[in-house]
Amino acid sequence: GGAKRTGMVRISNPSEVPLLFRIQKSGSISSEDVKFPDDLTVGGVVRPLGEREVRFEFLPSFPGKFEEEIRFQNMVDRKNAAVLTMKANVKDRENFWLQDLNLDFGKIDANGFSRSESIVLKNCSSTPRCFKIQHRGGGFGC
């Protein structure tokens, strides 16, 4: 998948009566990648001779080509609908992230202990991963 993107679509109503509309997605597996936060799948209104901006969020779940038809259905005149085709080329996201490759434990007293350091290791994938951490260089003194 890829990063979340947001955008908007402007709906114009050139009529002198309110436009009652509903948004319908195709129902394909990738339909869930497009969300309308204002829940206009139930319905919405555009004032006479007015415009309305409809926000959407796109969070792809798979890399590759994305294409989804979004239908803006006129609820009064069912034959009158506008279809918007959303297209994207989704690049594979990073599956692994490490905050820093170098750790500095500072000066260590020969008779003491070093200060502790933390490593942030994050699996950015929904797939479980097994990570192996190795120490390179001198051995550990025990």
Domain annotation for the chain: domains and CATH numbers: 5-90 (2.60.40.10)
Nearest to 18 by CA among 76, 86, 82: 76
- pLDDT on residue 142: 40
Alpha carbon distance 124, 94 (integer Å): 7
How far, CA to CA in Å, does 140 sit from each of 72, 103, 113, 136, 137?
Answer: 65, 15, 13, 10, 9
- With 60 as the cut, is the pLDDT of residue 140 above it? no
Alpha carbon distance 58, 6 (integer Å): 6
Nearest to 26 by CA among 84, 80, 100: 84
Burial class (CB in 10 A: 0-12, 13-18, 19+), 11: middle
Per this entry, what is the length of the chain? 142
- pLDDT on residue 99: 59
pTM > 0.85: no
Average pLDDT over residues 76-82: 91
Our separate counts of H helices and E strands in the chain read 0, 9
